[in-house]
């Protein structure tokens, strides 16, 4: 890497003596065979008059010297790492569980998730294989997939469905989280929030949105109601912009007539729902 080179503005007059001598040690002048020195109006960046001794051919002052690589003792690193086992007392919210689904924490420690359904207190939850504790063949059969709720709590899917059925039989509406009683409905339309099992074979992205404690949102309408409302609103706007009027009202039928308006209405309709479909895919929601 070339050393710092003074600019024309930084170069001063040529003199036989200089407080700021840019010649390298051992040289007698600015050029070979030249006894003159170059005066600088300002010093190079990162240096002062006390530590400036010329213009070396190496890196600018202040750079850290790169040392040769040193072999890493992998055995030593492995000895410093531990296996951390988390149970139901450690993890209650899915946001915390999601941080460990890769099988390691930020320090590289091995993570095991030994979690139980909080409704039945018996069945173990199916988590990704990399964080699944070792169990006997019989224990492996006593597991169930789990479902995450918008509030962040998670339960065994079979037990949660049974919980909802019992609540419905008792005319308890809307369905709620068994833990915090968060209502599992869309506020405006009142329809139930769609819940799905978490598939441990795949990453979280694309199957479980951010929970509310993580910054996620529940839309005020379910997707079907939102689309129906958009269709109604879009129809009003489109027909306000391009109304269905008689042929005789057009000023220049050769340039614009009823068929032109109809084509523009169809194009505007397609554009609105194309934008709606694109925008819906750009963020996560319940």
Give the Cα separation of 62 and 3 in Å (integer): 12
Query: What phi, psi does 217 have (nearest 5°)?
Result: -135, 155
Q: Please state the separation of Cα 15 from the chain's center in Å.
A: 61
Question: Binning pLDDT at 50, 70 and 90, where does residue 56 land?
Answer: low
Give the Cα separation of 196 and 124 in Å (integer): 18
Output the six-digit token pair for 44: 């190079």
Of all residues in the chain, the percent with pLDDT exceeding 90 is: 50
Give the Cα separation of 186 and 174 in Å (integer): 10
Output the six-digit token pair for 54: 């010329």
Q: Where are the beta strands (DSSP E) in 118-194?
A: 124-125, 143-144, 146-148, 154-156
| Mean of pLDDT over the chain | 80
Overall average pLDDT of the 94-123 stretch: 91
Cα 19 to Cα 23, 42, 57, distances in angstroms: 12, 11, 20
Beta-carbon neighbour count of residue 219 at 10 Å? 16
pLDDT above 90 (res 135): no
pLDDT above 50 (res 23): no
Overall average pLDDT of the 26-42 stretch: 47
Give the Cα separation of 256 and 263 in Å (integer): 11
Which one-letter DSSP state was computed for residue 131? G
């Amino acid at each position: 890497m070339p050393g710092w080179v003074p600019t024309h503005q930084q170069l001063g007059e040529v003199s036989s003596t200089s407080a700021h001598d840019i010649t390298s040690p051992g040289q007698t002048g600015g050029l070979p065979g030249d006894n003159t020195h170059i005066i600088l109006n300002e010093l190079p960046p990162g240096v002062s008059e006390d530590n400036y001794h010329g213009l070396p051919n190496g890196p600018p002052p202040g750079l850290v010297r790169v040392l040769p690589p040193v072999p890493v003792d992998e055995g030593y690193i492995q000895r410093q790492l531990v296996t951390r086992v988390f149970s139901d007392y450690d993890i209650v919210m899915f946001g915390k569980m999601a941080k460990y689904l890769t099988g390691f924490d930020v320090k590289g420690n091995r993570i095991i998730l030994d979690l139980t359904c909080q409704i039945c207190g018996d069945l173990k939850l199916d988590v990704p294989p990399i964080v699944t504790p070792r169990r006997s063949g019989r224990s492996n059969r006593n597991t169930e997939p789990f479902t995450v709720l918008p509030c962040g709590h998670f339960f065994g899917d079979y037990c949660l469905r049974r919980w909802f059925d019992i609540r419905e039989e008792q005319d308890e509406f809307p369905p709620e989280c068994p833990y915090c009683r968060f209502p599992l409905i869309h506020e405006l339309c009142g329809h139930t929030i769609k819940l799905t099992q978490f598939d441990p074979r795949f990453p979280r992205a694309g199957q479980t949105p951010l929970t509310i404690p993580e910054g996620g949102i529940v839309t005020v309408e379910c997707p079907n109601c939102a689309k129906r409302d958009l269709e109604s609103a879009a129809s009003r706007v489109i027909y306000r912009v391009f109304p269905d009027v008689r042929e005789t009202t057009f000023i220049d039928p050769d340039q614009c007539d009823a068929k032109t308006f109809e084509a523009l209405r169809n194009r505007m309709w397609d554009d609105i729902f194309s934008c709606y479909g694109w925008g819906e895919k750009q963020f996560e929601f319940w």
